[in-house]
Chain A
Amino acid sequence: MVDVALAFAPGRRFNPWPAVIFISLAVLALLFLAPTAGVLLSSIKTTRDIALGQLWTIPSELFWGNYAEVLANPAVHRYFLNTFIVTAPATVASIALGSLAGYVFAKLPFRGSNLLFLVIVSGMFFPPQVILIPLFRLFNAMDLIDTLYPIIIIHTAMGIPICTLLMRNFFATVPNALREAAILEGANEWQVLTRVALPLSLPALAVLATLQFTWIWNDFLWPLIFTQSDEKRTIMLGIVNLQGQYSVAWGVQGSLSLIASLPTLIVFLFFQRYFIKGMTMGAVKG
């Protein structure tokens, strides 16, 4: 740890630096929070108040009508349901597939496995636009446009690189002796993976569950391409769509945004440490 506060302190004289640092951080934190706070404030105000230019002030009384409006809207229920239908299986499937591949790369390396590993991992660096058109053609031919299947499949496939990377790195830290002992006891590789390696890798699984859930929940591009009817929209697409319907109902828009972000915010707050670790692990070891 670099101790800037101590570093700034020569001898025992009065040291103003920790206070200066704290105050600058506090000011920056307020600046960073202001945008989010604006949405929060808007969501508890009436449209009239906002139109009068009072979006950024603290309201004298709380107005819950915007939330009631959003929560009573059947379209919002459908958007939420669709997003869950996409996010849950894609999160599980990408982690499962990444664990399978990661186990081989960590415990059963073969000639050329490093190259294959690199090819798979490099998949996480490319903009999704580069595979968009052929996938559109493929799913069009399979008559799957305007269903949720393409989105589930794509998120599973696009999640394989990061899941393989993190699971391989984590499995590599599981002692080989454990695997060998289990195999001497008569276990096969599948049993080693599911009963030894995976139970020891719960932190990595938590990291990936948070990352994948957040990315898939928040995604906009794939649902935009593959869904057309309102019945199949996911929540992020729904927000954009409802912006037209509630064009000047800023408060309703604000509460909708907050409700839509709630699942990822909850996951983030619960798994904060894992989430940040996962981001850094995935990045630093890439």
Chain B
Amino acid sequence: MERENRLWRVILLALPVAVFAAFVVWPLASSFYYSFTDWNGFNPDYDFVGFDNFLKIHTDKLFLNATINTAFWIVAAIVVPTALGLGLALLIDSRIPGGPVFKSIFYLPICLSAVVVGQIWVWIYQPDWGLLNTVVEAVSGENFNYAWLAKPDSALWSVILAWSWQQTGLSMVIFLAGLTTIPEELLEVCEIEGAKAFQRIRLVVIPLLTPATVVVIALNVINSLKGFDILYTMTGGGPFNSSDTLAMHMYNESFKKYLMGYGSAISVVLFLIALTIIRLYFRQLRKVDELHG
């Protein structure tokens, strides 16, 4: 019996493990390997350059710039969709009519592609007839032509807002799922004991939502590291690299300048950042499991 089981394990696992190993694990390992070379993307040959690519990271001002932008991007991706998603979830979870309709409306942007979301928001920020400037003009009564995406001061934040618009729905549904696990009796008891609505939310609901919050934050951070498509379509990392992130910088160095060795080094750094976050996430999950059972 056990021997038969062993055979079946091999038969069933062979294909998925082989595909995963060949096209995910092996390339990941190779990225480390190529980060020590000067491969240019065309020549089959390359030389080993030791730690040169990593030393270059130290002096690459654009890398520092991209890292700072990525940090902003991650922080904003934590704060905005998480806070908005929680607020929306709490509102929808109160027994108002039309809850499912609201849920769908806030969730809808998630199924649009980053390219389409990018295009939509390029129009909103369009200086002459974009929605944002039209509203500003209507409110202020003055002519307003600020080019949100073409100014280094506002480009990154403008893309972050578009990104948050798309991601909020995801945070919201996870919070809604978390809210269903809070026993109603508990809140009734609180009410009888005289706790005000805001006290109940602050002292009971939010602490009990911790597992959902951990998931939402981790997911937002991980998704934000993947944020490439929307930047590519909205700003291309510009103007003057003001909205460059690590993913974008990696793409530019590898596929615009054909510095694949250096690009690999950047992707190694990106991998290490993701790994750190994932480890923090799993550790938090374990803590939450211990607390909440």
Given A18-B94, A25-B91, verify A1-B180 contact (CB < 8 Å): yes
Which A residues are CB-close (under 8 A) to B268? 130
Cross-interface CB contact of B12 among A22, A50, A103, A136, cutoff 8 Å: A103
Which B residues are CB-close (under 8 A) to A32? 105-106, 108-109, 165
Check: A198 CB closer than 8 A to any chain B CB: no
Cross-interface CB contact of A134 among B27, B105, B111, B191, cutoff 8 Å: B27
Complex formed: what's the CA distance from A35 to B165 in Å?
A: 9
Cross-interface CB contact of B120 among A7, A39, A267, A275, cutoff 8 Å: A39
Q: Is the CB of A264 within 8 A of B102?
A: no
B contact face: mostly helix, strand, loop, or mixed? helix
- Of the candidate stretches B54-62, B148-156, B171-179, the one touching chain A is B171-179
Q: Is the CB of A130 within 8 A of B90?
A: no
Quick one: CB contact mask for A150-176 with B, threshold 8 Å, 1 for yes?
000110111011001000000000000
Min C-beta distance of A32 to chain B, whole Å? 6
**For chain B residues 83-129, which have a beta carbon within 8 Å of chain A?**
88, 90-98, 102-116, 119-121, 123-124, 128-129
Check: A4 CB closer than 8 A to any chain B CB: yes
Cross-interface CB contact of A130 among B22, B28, B109, B170, cutoff 8 Å: B28
Check: A202 CB closer than 8 A to any chain B CB: no
Complex formed: what's the CA distance from A220 to B134 in Å?
A: 31
Given A108-B5, A279-B174, verify A39-B197 contact (CB < 8 Å): no
Given A4-B91, A36-B108, A97-B19, verify A138-B170 contact (CB < 8 Å): no
Quick one: CB contact mask for B179-221 with A, threshold 8 Å, 1 for yes?
1101010010001000001001100010000011001100100
Min C-beta distance of A119 to chain B, whole Å? 8
Given A50-B129, A101-B12, A239-B116, verify A127-B184 contact (CB < 8 Å): no
Complex formed: what's the CA distance from A34 to B30 in Å?
A: 45
Cross-interface CB contact of B112 among A2, A28, A153, A264, cutoff 8 Å: A264
Q: Is the CB of A131 within 8 A of B28?
A: yes
Q: Is the CB of B134 within 8 A of A56?
A: yes
Q: Is the CB of A100 within 8 A of B16?
A: yes
Which B residues are CB-close (under 8 A) to A276? 103, 107, 173
Chain A: number of interface residues, binned into ranges: 35 or more
- Of the candidate stretches A58-66, A67-75, A253-261, the one touching chain B is A253-261
Q: Which residue of A lies closest to B260 (CB)?
A: A133
Q: Is the CB of B115 within 8 A of A284?
A: no
Q: Is the CB of A137 within 8 A of B12?
A: no
Check: A53 CB closer than 8 A to any chain B CB: yes
Q: Which of B94, B201, B246, B274 has the most CB of A within 10 A?
A: B94
Task: Give residues in B with beta carbon < 8 Å to A.
Answer: 5-6, 8-9, 11-13, 15-17, 19-20, 22-28, 30-31, 33-34, 39, 41, 44, 88, 90-98, 102-116, 119-121, 123-124, 128-129, 131, 134, 165, 170, 173-174, 177, 179-180, 182, 184, 187, 191, 197, 200-201, 205, 211-212, 215-216, 219, 222, 225-226, 228-229, 232-233, 246-247, 250-251, 254-255, 260, 263-264, 267-268, 270-271, 274, 277-278, 281
22 example contacts (A-B, Cβ-Cβ < 8 A) are as follows A1-B180, A2-B182, A2-B187, A3-B187, A25-B91, A35-B165, A38-B123, A123-B20, A125-B274, A128-B226, A132-B263, A153-B23, A156-B19, A156-B23, A188-B8, A217-B113, A218-B114, A220-B114, A239-B115, A257-B116, A279-B110, A286-B215
Task: Give residues in A with beta carbon < 8 Å to B.
Answer: 1-8, 17-18, 21-22, 24-25, 28-29, 32-36, 38-39, 42, 50-51, 53, 55-56, 97-98, 100-101, 103-104, 108, 110, 116, 119-120, 122-123, 125-138, 141, 153-154, 156-158, 160-161, 164, 188-190, 193, 214, 217-221, 224-225, 236, 239-240, 243, 250, 253, 257, 260-261, 264-265, 267-268, 272, 275-276, 279-280, 283-284, 286
Known: A127-B225, A138-B27. 17 other contacts (CB 8 A): A5-B94, A28-B88, A38-B120, A42-B123, A51-B129, A55-B131, A108-B8, A110-B5, A127-B270, A129-B270, A130-B270, A132-B250, A132-B263, A153-B19, A160-B20, A261-B113, A265-B112
